[in-house]
Copies of this chain bind each other. A is one copy, B any other.
Amino acid sequence: PVSINPETFPAKLWRLVNSPRFRSVHWDARGQGLLIDEQLFVSEVLDAGPSGDAAAGDGSLFKTKSFTSFIRQLNLYGFQKVSKGLVMAPRPVSRAGGDGGGRATSFLHHFHSPHFCRNRPDLLVHLKRLTSTNKMKLAAGLELPGRPASHLQQ
């Protein structure tokens, strides 16, 4: 019965992708990666941070307002970029032609981690920060620490 600290990055990301309230982060088709709409993510997650409207009293979001910093966190936790594409605006009905939609409105980022899969919250404990200190500890065969969600006394 393991549990992770709900205030860490992986836990927040897990809640984001599984929340019907946020439309900027989705599972990919196979449930093994994230699809992130940059513009939507900035507006509904980052700009709506600790002091924003969406906070609503919980401490569930991030302090940063920078999408780049969010990407840095993904990389620190071992996520790899799969691809990056364009999000197209739905074509106005009256307009014909075009090749699949209207103008581009945002970027769509596709990231993947072997420890971040739909319906597998048990894998989250394997998501560790890849700092230089942690890497040295791993190389020395040690266990990585972690902020416990609550550790039993005694």
Contacts and interface: CB of A to CB of B under 8 A. Distances in A.
Interface residues of A, number: 47
A151 to B, nearest CB: 7
Dominant secondary structure at the A interface:
loop
Contacts of A122: none
A137 to B, nearest CB: 12
Contacts of A7: 83
A50 B108 CA distance: 14
A59 B84 CA distance: 6
A119 interface: no
Interface string A66-80: 101000000000101
Interface of A: 6-7, 49-59, 63, 65-66, 68, 78, 80, 82-88, 98-101, 104, 107-108, 112-115, 126, 130, 138, 148-154
